Structure 1
């Protein structure tokens, strides 16, 4: 006898709301049906995408610059802070994922239903300010990368970035999976370019591992930078983004088994994506730790020169040749362009959810 399908009656009042047209309503990815239960790579592939788009926020130019500064100030000794912040980020992203999967509503839509008008509008303004603040550094970071590659002025680079962002976002008109593949390509570019810089700079691998797993930095002036690492990694608007992106999969939310399955695959995908972002961040911190500490520390004054993505490219070009400069710039360009696109999505989802708009 076939077992009757269980239902989440306490969530039934959300299902009708989730049927309202949203951005992904006509563009959802189908999940393959398999006879056998348990882990399946085809299903994992079907769920793969939202986590990697989310992980872009962990790799934006602001994060890269924070990595450079933490490397110059603390060498490898702040890597454990980066690791801990990434783990904390995974926990928070998993909660956002679960909200979107189980209710069919992303975080901004849920806030619209749970909060009264005044606090809801205040929260919306705060989220949009966070998105704008992140987008500013992402656009400027991309413009710096364009300047390193072609000497185009920063103001022109900002305009190019804005135009490119909306141009690339039109890729989803040809299918959401194509857009996700494009983001995967950009993450791959970042991994290759920053990995190249790691190899040519040759940091001590044992010191990197110790810095990653052993909390330290006693008697060093890096407490403020440690807080900066946490702030750069964990971004509030990314929770709104991730909880919305998971709605792009066609999930039967009235079937508890399908919900449990979706949550499991999303957890796995998010973990893989954040591991990739952590490795890329480790590359950047390690490069700055081994090189900037030598190049910018004054033996007489015991002072550090502030590190940024522009100085990072120039130094690498001087130390390892012009190829290192261009490879660095390509990595920053990929980081800036991809994060600007996801920031645009985050702002769109926040505005639509908090104000109950359907565009």
Structure 2
């Protein structure tokens, strides 16, 4: 149980369970907002329009992989009392720590720009005013349960939908969200000297996180199936994006009291604005953790948000509002965030595997193997996206040379992060003194 200050109490019965769960509720739902940002919605609608119901199974498993990663992030924060950026600051040498910070900031900037684009499109839709001429019409969202269940239960992938499949996975796991969740779970005061208190917190945070991501999966499922039913197999399927999705929905489904175009606009605006909140918190934790900032909250918020907002403003001035330019920009932003994924996943998995960091709450062999397999799968999938994207974009020897040099340095840094984690565990197994964090359970 948790009082006003967040301290746990004991109790029994279902009413106590619900009350405890409520008092630990918050971090998981705030984190789950990032699973519904404009970038995710665009991935959903394109998957539905181009691949129909065939990628619903992948959406389910991608959400499950995202849930595993977020549960590990919460586990790290609860067991240690510190978040991922803070632990990375102590774990890695200065050059690696600064590089990890730059990568996390770049991922956050990319997410922020997509949120601004989504909000701008929503405002453009809503600024025309609410036209009530759709009175008397009915929404025609009759979705076939058979097709939905078949799409969820039977894996199916064709060469024509590989890019959409990669996009589905790439949109679910976001680097800044991993840093964010490991920090948010520390909003409740937990007595780390008592193993039972930590176990209780982990239990309720895990339940809350699971509920939040199940709800996000349902919303993503609805978006995908609506566009699958309305546009799969049509001539416009390959041209649907955030900018024109509302208009296509209006033409296809019409509207009721409020035209569907404006319902889409309201939802898109809500997605953009709410995900901006997660970006604000993530930016503060990332910069404060990596750089060990000791500033007043308002000054820290100003500095951390400036790192994301200023590039966003520059992009807004450089790029015009044409649909083609926005599509190109979104593709590059997806690539930018995909590049950063290993630099959040690998440090997370290395840290939660260490007894010197986690104490008795380090992950066991089965969960460790599963987690590394998931991380490897996600990295390979995003590697395919990067290869496919750059192979279509490289059109000069100079650009090709730059890409190759960047790729070599990128792979070398990933190998360094993995090998450092393996070397640390080997050093511990040689009988060296075990360094126990001040939050390790007694």
**Aligning the two structures, in what range does the TM-score lie when normalised by the shorter sequence?**
0.7 to 0.9
- The SS at the match of 1:296 is coil
1:124 to 101, 105, 109: 101
Tell me which moved more, 31-40 or 55-64.
Answer: 31-40
CA distance in 2, matches of 1:56, 1:115: 30
Q: Distance in 1 between matches of 2:37 and 2:108?
A: 13
Give yes or no for the alignment of 1:334 onto 2:258. no
TM-score normalized by structure 1?
Answer: 0.75
Number of residue pairs aligned between Structure 1 and Structure 2: 281
Q: Quote the offset at 1:321 in angstroms.
A: 2.6
Name the counterpart of 2:249.
Answer: 316
CA deviations over 1:85-119 (Å, ceiling 9, x no partner): 10001111011001110111000001011111110
1:352 aligns with 2:288: yes
From 211, 216, 235, the equivalent of 1:272 is: 211
Distance across 2 between alignment mates of 1:151 and 1:241: 36
- Measure how far apart 1:306 and its partner are: 2.3
Contact 2:118–2:268 under 8 Å retained in 1: yes
Preserved CA contact (<8 Å) 2:50 2:233: no
2: CA distance, partners of 1:313 / 1:245: 34
SS of the residue 2:238 aligns to: coil
Q: Distance in 2 between the 1:345 and 1:316 partners?
A: 34
Aligned to 2:74: 97
Equivalent residue number for residue 203 of structure 1:
143
Taking a change above 3 Å as real, the CA distance of residues 292 and 29 of structure 1, as seen in their structure-2 partners, is farther
Report how far residue 310 of structure 1 moved: 2.4
Residue 82 (structure 2) pairs with residue 149 (structure 1)? no
Matched, 1:239 2:178: yes
Q: Which runs of 4+ in 1 moved over 4 A?
A: none
Superposed displacement of residue 336, structure 1: 0.6
Gaps in structure 1 of 5+ consecutive residues:
1-27, 153-198, 298-303
TM norm structure 2: 0.61
**1:71 matched residue in structure 2:** 48
> Any stretches of 5+ residues in structure 2 without a counterpart?
130-138, 296-442
Q: What is the SS of the residue equivalent to 2:143?
A: coil
Contact 1:74 1:220 survives alignment (8 Å): no
User: Distance in 1 between the 2:261 and 2:5 partners?
Assistant: 39
* 1:60-82 deviation per Cα after TM superposition (whole angstroms, max 9, x unaligned): 00000000111112101011111
RCO higher in structure (CA 8 A, sep ≥6): 1
In 2 relative to 1, CA 202–351 (structure 1 residues): closer, same or farther, beyond 3 Å?
same
- Aligned partner of 2:381 in structure 1 is none
In the alignment, what sits opposite 1:307? 240
Q: What is the rounded CA distance, in whole Å, between the counterparts of 2:64 and 2:5 in structure 1?
A: 28
1:262 aligns with 2:201: yes
Q: Give the Cα–Cα distance (whole angstroms) in 2 for the partners of residues 296 and 31 of structure 1.
A: 58
Q: Which residue of 2 aligns with 1:30?
A: 6
State the distance in 2 between where 1:37 and 1:247 align.
Answer: 26
Q: 1:343 aligns with which of 272, 275, 279?
A: 279
